[in-house]
Amino acid sequence: MSKRLFGTDGVRGLANELITPSMALELAQAASIVLGFNTVKKGARPKAVIAHDSRISGEFIGSAMMAGFAASGVDVWDAGMVPTPAAAYLVSATDADFGVMISASHNPAEDNGIKFLARGGKKLDDSLEDSIEKLFKEKDFRAPIGGEVGRIRPLADGEDRYITHLLSTMPEHRRLNGLTVVLDCANGAASGVSPDAFRTLGAQVIVLAAEPDGTNINDGVGSTHPEKLQAAVVKHGADMGIAHDGDADRCLAVDEQGNMVDGDKIMSILAVAMKDAGRLKDNTLVATVMSSLGLELYLKEQGIKLERTSVGDRYVLESMNANGFNLGGEQSGHVIMSDYATTGDGVLTGLHLAAEVAHTGLPLSELAARMQPTPQKLINVKGVDRDGVKDSVALQDAVTEAEKELGESGRVLLRPSGTEPLVRVMVEAADQETADSVAQRLADVVTAELSL
């Protein structure tokens, strides 16, 4: 059985090795039918929005895809370099039939990816991806001639329209006047958008890593390398810092003391603020099984329920869409505010976090300290049968015993890897020593029971 082309977040791989110009062109031809001609009224010409981050390979991949769309009879709006959430917004704002974002997010510059967006700027479900992949392999494409081919036009005001949208999400009285914010744009797609948005709302902005050259995206900067940001916040006496990744679909924060503020803490601050304002749907936050027990316990004290999903922002989004919840995310800083966005949006998240600091008049360190993560230990047990976790009676008994020992102050999570012979053992407890000892005990059982 051949490997599926689409992964958890589109097609990802080494540019010009997996993602070649011919592959990108044919993938665009397949998507033109599945997302375009199969969905529009007969005789109508589909419209698509295309965008990319700052990787140099995004230029040839984007050119190939635009050629594939136009050759199939699809009109294309080229938004150029904008964040992933901007591309999603522009698909909706222009009433396009679908869109595509070319990015590999926080990965190195040599990698790239192709992520399709359905009408409204929403992620594709598996069935649509499967249909595109099937047609891509069959190569039964459209080949119109004459005036039936598509046109390619620049979406020259795409970045400005996105910034206007970001500003519109802020209540009139929420300004950032008086705040000094350091922004690390990862030499990526947020390099223009994020500083402009923060400055327009009144913040004094110090910018790092906002000079993309096509090869320096995520290179020692951004949310995966926040050390320079932490130092800059302290050096300049700033109120806070925001670290984006290459396509700005997530962010992490730094408080005024230079300490990291992860996605769990960001979500705790936003959830309480939204609840107090009467805007948190069903007083519920959606997060994955990896979010700290400390987050769950803190939210419970605040009268907020935590709805947990499998790991991955797509599962968070599925739960939000199915139940009408409007706030969710991951520890990694991928936060979804669905009142304003169809995907994680690091600039949007950063603006609303900064607005809460300005509104309360409290330092970010104090707001973040209200939620204390539970001590945690994670052990990756390698060389084991990951599929045997649910079948081992001895392992299940060991987990049950550990859960009784931990009580309400801790929890156990066993996660088989989806790609390699490995089982992740995660334990949270009231203290680090207990978390370490229980995790090691369970890891020993995994090794004894499931070794290959």
One domain, residues 268 and 383: no
CATH number at residue 34: 3.40.120.10
Residue ranges, the chain, pLDDT below 50: 1
One domain, residues 240 and 327: yes
Query: Could you tell me if residue 411 is inside a domain?
Result: yes
Cα distances from 81 to residues 101, 102, 277, 303, in angstroms, run 10, 9, 35, 41
Domain boundary among 303, 337, 369: 369
Specify binding-site residues: 105, 245, 247, 249
Specify binding-site residues for Mg(2+): 105, 245, 247, 249
Residue 22 burial by Cβ neighbours in a 10 Å radius (0-12, 13-18, 19+): exposed
One domain, residues 362 and 423: no
One domain, residues 231 and 364: yes
Q: Under a CB-based contact definition with an 8 Å cutoff, are residues 99 and 50 in contact?
A: yes
Q: How far apart are CA 341 and CA 99, in angstroms?
A: 15
One domain, residues 181 and 269: yes
Tell me which residues are annotated as active site: 105
CB count, 10 Å around CB of 7? Answer: 13
One domain, residues 104 and 80: yes
One domain, residues 337 and 427: no
Does the predicted TM-score (pTM) go above 0.85?
yes
Query: Could you tell me if residue 1 is inside a domain?
Result: no
One domain, residues 300 and 387: no
One domain, residues 130 and 191: no
Q: How many domains does the chain have?
A: 3
Amino acid identity of residue 111, one-letter, is D
One domain, residues 203 and 294: yes
One domain, residues 24 and 42: yes
Domain boundary among 156, 186, 204: 156
CATH number at residue 443: 3.30.310.50
Q: How far apart are CA 5 and CA 298, in angstroms?
A: 41
The per-residue pLDDT for 1 is 39
Domain boundary among 342, 369, 396: 369
One domain, residues 91 and 197: no
Q: Under a CB-based contact definition with an 8 Å cutoff, are residues 447 and 386 in contact?
A: no
The per-residue pLDDT for 2 is 57
The per-residue pLDDT for 76 is 98
Residue 202: partners with Cβ closer than 8 Å, 6 or more residues away:
175, 176, 177, 178, 179
Query: Could you tell me if residue 3 is inside a domain?
Result: no
Q: How far apart are CA 344 and CA 223, in angstroms?
A: 14
* Residue 341 lies in domain: 162-369
Query: Could you tell me if residue 351 is inside a domain?
Result: yes
